[in-house]
Amino acid sequence: MKERLRTLRIYPALLALGGVVVAFSSAWAGEDAGMSLLNNRCASCHNLRGPAPSSIHALWARKAPDLFYAGNKFRRKWLISWLQKPVRIRPAGEFYADHIKPGPKRDMVDESTLKPHLALSAADAKLAADALMKLRAHDDLIAKEQVPEGTISTSMGSLVFDKFLGCMACHRIRKDFGGLSGPELYTAGERLKPRFMASYIRSPQAWDPKIWMPNKHVSDTRIIQLVHYLQALSKGGSHE
Amino acid sequence: MNKKSFLFLGAITLWTLSPVLAGTSIAASAKDNYRTYCAQCHGIAGNGRGINIRDMSVQPRNHTDAEYMSQRSDDDLAKADREGGLAIDKSVLMPPWGDTLSPSEIQDMVQYLRTLCHCKYNSQ
């Protein structure tokens, strides 16, 4: 009899606890359908947790760009559309030196080694984009940047980008002009957040310690000009 | 396996190993750093013909050119690597690597460049 009384007293407590657990886990599942999509279909190539490679050999082994700071980097709208219709961003893929071969005049990209990116349905793209936007390991770096709205003529912008700073050596600023070892930048304004661009130009190593983009010690004024220029390019600003 | 082919195999093995053995004095990491950071412009073979060069207004230096490279001192080469082209009155297209490579990695890189040109500094 005593035993039964005790059980009776414990019951409501157990029930309440159970209720809390159920409520929690369903909220969890709702929130994380996107995250489990990333874990199941993306994590085999992309690093979703960090940190970035800290040695050359880890850099070489990286199969795809890091996504653990995707929410600091990308514009959500671009993610949703690119994930449905992915196109090449890095002309020589990742890691670039694994995708080049000697050519008659210069080294060439070995296209046969580059594979198309998987595409998602509209619903999955939205789910993935929302989960990616929550990965923000570098709020600290973004907080240091201010990019006021502004414009720059594309002729002044290209002078800064090509002649003063030599960025064209590795980046394309038109489909058919520029270097191949870095991501193309004529769509950077659509793809990237302005404060990410500013921060990355200030110190690529702060984001990715072993990356093959050098720190050129670009001044604050020039950084703002460059961001405005990249924004102008992706708005279809003509380039001469 | 007869004696002749055994000797032959031995010789082949030594021959393939010799660059590896000789190379151990220069940090292997210099070669890896070159492939990662320099080959994009200077070429996988170090001949100045990397994937990036088509639209560059100044072409990257051919590091296998002994005639040119022997006129540059080790300090000149280290300065170019560390501070970039502008610091030595050359093109801005040659970037500074001082935030990427440590001072000792830059010294190792200079020694690696010497193996590409098979040359030493020759002041005349």
Q: For A118-146, what is each residue's pLDDT tens digit?
A: 999 999 999 999 999 999 999 999 999 99
What pLDDT does residue A226 have?
98
Shortest CB distance from A179 goes to which of B44, B49, B52?
Answer: B52
d(CA A86, CA A2): 68
Q: For B31-71, what is each residue's pLDDT tens digit?
A: 999 999 999 999 999 999 999 999 999 999 999 999 999 99
What pLDDT does residue B2 have?
61
Single out the residue of B68, B67, B98, B62 nearest to residue B80, CA to CA: B98
Residues in chain B: 124
What pLDDT does residue A171 have?
98
What pLDDT does residue B112 have?
97
| Segment (H or E) for A93 | none
CATH topology (fold) of B30-117: Cytochrome Bc1 Complex; Chain D, domain 2 (1.10.760)
Single out the residue of B116, B108, B20 nearest to residue B68, CA to CA: B116
Task: State how many domains chain A has.
Answer: 1
By residue range, what is the domain housing residue A139? 42-233
What pLDDT does residue B28 have?
85
- Predicted TM-score of the model (pTM): 0.89
What pLDDT does residue B18 have?
44
Inside any domain, residue A14? no
Q: Are A106 and B51 contacting, i.e. CB atoms less than 8 angstroms apart?
A: yes
Inside any domain, residue A20? no
- To test the contact with chain A by mutation, choose from B55, B83, B112 the residue with the greatest count of A C-beta atoms within 10 A, namely B55
What the block records as the tokens of A34 is 């996107």
Q: Is residue A177 predicted with pLDDT exceeding 80?
A: yes
Q: Which regions of A30-83 does DSSP assign to beta strands (E)?
A: none
* Residue B45 in contact with partner chain A when CB distance is under 8 A: yes
Domains in chain B: boundaries: 30-117
Average pLDDT, chain A: 90
Dihedral sign from CA coordinates of B100, A212, A108, A188: negative
Share above pLDDT 90 across residues of chain A, in percent, rounded to a whole number: 84
Q: For A144-170, what is each residue's pLDDT tens digit?
A: 999 999 999 999 999 999 999 999 999
CB contact under 8 A, A181 and B100: no
What pLDDT does residue B4 have?
61
- Which residues in chain B touch residue A107, judged by CB atoms under 8 angstroms apart? 39, 43-44, 49-51
- Which residues in chain B touch residue A214, judged by CB atoms under 8 angstroms apart? 37, 84, 95-97, 99-100
Inside any domain, residue A194? yes
